[in-house]
């Protein structure tokens, strides 16, 4: 697999490798991709939880009672 990076990103990757936290480029890329996938999964889980909360709130009419001003 070939990957083309912008010069800015390539320099940042080189800096990370020079810092010695990764044994090689492959380990760095694998770690970065895994982090991205984990973050995306957590974001999707949070969004699903918020949707469930919103549905529960709507089911009980809380939004209408608490957040929408009364017209009386």
Note the helical H segments in 5-70: 7-18, 25-60, 62
Tell me how far CA of residue 40 lies from CA of 3, 34, 46, in angstroms. 21, 10, 10
Place of tokens 């709130």: 57
pTM (predicted TM-score): 0.66
- Tens digit of each residue's pLDDT, the chain (72 residues): 899 999 999 999 999 999 999 999 999 999 999 999 999 999 999 988 887 777 777 766 666 665 556 665
Nearest Cα neighbor of 13 from 47, 24, 2 is 24
Domains of the chain by residue range: 7-67
User: Which tokens sit at 70?
Assistant: 């009364």
């Amino acid at each position: 697999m070939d990957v083309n990076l912008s010069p800015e990103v390539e320099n940042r990757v080189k800096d990370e490798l020079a810092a010695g936290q990764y044994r090689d480029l492959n380990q760095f890329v694998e770690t970065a991709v895994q982090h991205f996938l984990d973050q995306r999964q957590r974001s999707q889980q949070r969004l699903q939880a918020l949707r469930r909360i919103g549905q529960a709130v709507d089911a009980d009419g809380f939004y209408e009672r608490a957040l929408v001003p009364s017209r009386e």
